[in-house]
Structure 1
Amino acid sequence: MHKIPVTVITGFLGAGKTTLVRHLLQNNEGRRIAVLVNEFGEIGIDGDLLRACQVCDQEGDHGVVSVGPDIIELTNGCLCCTVQEEFYPAMQELLKRRDQLDCILIETSGLALPKPLVQAFRWPEIRTAATVDGVVTVVDCEALAAGQFVGNLEALEAQRQADDSLEHETPIEELFEDQLACADLVLLTKVDQVDSQTRLKVEQWLQQELPAGVKIVPCQQGAIAPDILLGFNAAVEDNLEHRPSHHDQEEEHDHDDDINAVQLFLEHKFDPAALVERLKMLVQQQEIYRIKGFVAVPQKPMRLVLQGVGQRFETFYDRPWQPQETPQTKLVLIGRDLDQATIEHHILASS
């Protein structure tokens, strides 16, 4: 029986995975694609962004059909499925529709290790119906060049001379290494934010860290041809032993236990520039890896999308608030030992 190919999209927080998946949905070249979004938290920011992509009817629900719990059918025949806890039931729901699909994309959370996810495709109930066609690791060129989240680049080595605390290998670095070790392709995003010499240094460093034969493809705003990302025929679940990571010998994976997500639902409307400045101050005070969400703006009928990694923030209006929606600010902050009350107080203190 023909197995449906599954492509795993992994990468660090803010690298551009959702932007990439949105582009694939909008430029699917006739492919019927199911997207499974492994979200961290309950708000579902990435899932909402995917459902709001231009293949959907943004004037109402006429182009979006619910076909099951947390599964949304888009106007071009693709599916968007959000998974917050259990991977297996969601995958089973998608496999029931395998005759209606050409492939499945899984967008992992920024905190997910790719290898355990691939191992799930060895389960008998999934193995007979699906295969991991390939693992695509999305890497933020600008962040990597600045030495953020990774301990080996020249910029971070300079920082280490002034900060002994950077000598210790953090779980974030281990996660990044595992994402590279499992990759069939590396997609280097935000290359337009660095000069050609810096980009070359990043590519050279990555090539040293990657398994032999893994290609690096530059990308801007998720614009990449589907043929480049799909059709590896790698059957990754059958060759995991050839993709070693330093987590393989660990019996327990408890180093991420203190990483948590704070989720805020705020009735308050915010001036975008003032909110970004407030969040930048918060990032300086606490160990926050990623901020994303939707913002209600005074006198604006449009929903503002906010995404931040470190001190770098991006905002844009993606669509009007729907008639049935109450404009509300929804934020997810991912970091270490985050306290919701403290964060909410900081954000609202100067409002």
Structure 2
Amino acid sequence: MPMQKIPATVITGFLGAGKTTLIRNLLENAGGRRIALIINEFGDLGVDGGILKSCGIESCTEDDIVELNNGCICCTVADDFLPAMEKLLSREAPVDHIVIETSGLALPQPLVAAFNWPQVKARVTVDGVVTLIDAAAVAGGRFADDEDKVRAQREADESLDHDNPLEELFEDQIRAADLIILNKADLIDASALDAVRVEVAGKSARAVTSIPAEGGRLPIEVLLGLNAATEDQIALRRSHHEIEHENGEPHDHDDFESFVVTAGPVADAAAFTRGLARLTETHDILRLKGFAAIEGKPSRQVIQAVGRRIDSYFDRPWAAGETRETRLVVIGLHDGLDAAAIAAEIRALAAGRSAAA
């Protein structure tokens, strides 16, 4: 009998759509399945990997998590993704399912195409591409509000070729999907959710099922077992970048930049959160995520911000000997971030004073 292939699910979505929360909920309801994770970070702080490794459940061991920190996974398939897959497949104890969380900036198409490489295709199949949409952000016009500003920035930079890259990235992730999750649906009303559903459907040439979710909570049976074999169809779901490649245009990610800010313990958690909300708006930060040490608290606080909306929770106690510090990844448009000013403000907020103090 032929060897049964291991199913793999690719989870993609724009910055802050809730991919890590979805995966965490999936692991908590794995039902005995052994799930291996491949996580592609944007930036040099393993925030998502750290959150998942500390979730304290049986199907979330460090041996089952592989982090790829060397850049966008769609650009490092041969150097990073394929060796990671081969490492997982060579293990004595086989896994039941592989889940791949791409960075918010990654294109799903090149990654899925890599499953057609002979050393992978013989043993793994893409069960499905699941694309998360931040329904509340889309309903609030986050991308529409930024279109003119992004276009103006790109027109002023002669080294960049792709007009309106955020919209293209959003469309590419929808084009590749086998299932679309309209996450954070609880933050908008029914009519707004219907409008988001129509907008998202209009960006795909195929009819793709979309379902609402709150906080990434969905039954595991909804996410796994799609049996899509997407690697056999991905050539029909080309991204904007792939089309541009065919025309000889370069592919890069100079549209975005990220940096890490390290600060001391936070004196006032509530004031720190309010200050970060103002900071993201003032500096037009797309995404901010990381950990904070809160004075007087024995546990580490996770911080996830998209625009002015900030989520935070305590995920685990600080380990013995672990440095209690605040570390945040800041992500924004290339040449649109004043790293020195942002870092100074974050450190001032952590210390409980204004940036000017």
Q: TM-score, normalised by structure 2?
A: 0.84
Moved more, 38-47 or 160-169: 160-169
> Is the aligned partner of 1:312 residue 2:277?
no
Aligned pairs for 1:260-339 (under 5 A) are 260-336=257-333, 337=335, 338-339=337-338
Is it true that 1:235 corresponds to 2:235 in the alignment? no
Aligned length: 327
Q: Could you tell me how far 1:193 is from its partner in structure 2?
A: 0.5
Query: In the alignment, residue 117 of structure 1 is paired with which amino acid?
Result: L
Question: In the alignment, what sits opposite 1:59?
Answer: none
Residue number in structure 2 paired with 1:20: 22
Shift of 1:110: 0.5
Compute the displacement of 1:90 (Å): 1.5
Displacement, 1:288? 1.7
Q: RMSD of the alignment, in Å?
A: 2.5
* Cα distance in 2 between the residues matched to 1:245 and 1:282: 33
Is the Cα contact below 8 Å between 1:9 and 1:107 reproduced in 2?
A: yes
8 Å Cα contact 1:263/1:340 also seen in 2: no
Q: Which residue of 2 aligns with 1:136?
A: 130
Q: Distance in 2 between the 1:258 and 1:267 partners?
A: 30
1:68: which partner in 2? none
Structure 1 unaligned regions, length at least 5: 57-62, 66-71, 74-78
Give the 3 Å change call, closer, same or farther, for CA 196–122 of structure 1 in structure 2: same
Match of 1:5 among 4, 7, 28: 7
Structure 2 CA distance for partners of 1:310 and 1:32, relative to 1, 3 Å: same
- Kindly provide the amino acid, as one letter, of the partner of residue 53 in structure 1: C
SS at match of 1:224: coil
Partner-residue secondary structure (3-state), 2:294: coil
Contact 2:150 2:164 (8 Å CA) reproduced: no
1:120 is matched with: 114
Tell me the residue number matched to 1:202: 196
Report if aligned partners of 1:3, 1:129 keep a CA contact under 8 Å in 2.
Answer: yes
CA separation of 1:215/1:230 partners in 2, compared to 1, >3 Å: closer, same or farther?
same
- CA separation in 2, counterparts of 1:321 and 1:10? 30
TM-score (norm 1): 0.86
Aligned to 2:68: 83
- Structure 2 counterparts to residues 27-66 of structure 1, below 5 A: 27-55=29-57
Seen in structure 2, the aligned counterparts of structure 1 residues 161 and 288 have a Cα distance that, compared at 3 Å, is: closer
Distance 1:201 1:325 in 2: 47
Letter in 2 for 1:83: L
**Cα separation, partners in 2 of 1:29 and 1:250, compared to 1, 3 Å:** same
Offset at 1:32? Answer: 1.1
Give the % identical residues. Answer: 44
- Identify the range of structure 1 (128-137 vs 262-271) with the bigger mean alpha-carbon deviation: 262-271
1:247 paired to 2:241: yes
State the secondary structure of the residue aligned to 2:48. helix
CA contact (8 A) 1:160 1:167 kept: no
- Offset at residue 164 of structure 1 (A): 8.7
Instruction: Tell me the secondary structure at the aligned position of residue 286 of structure 2.
Output: strand
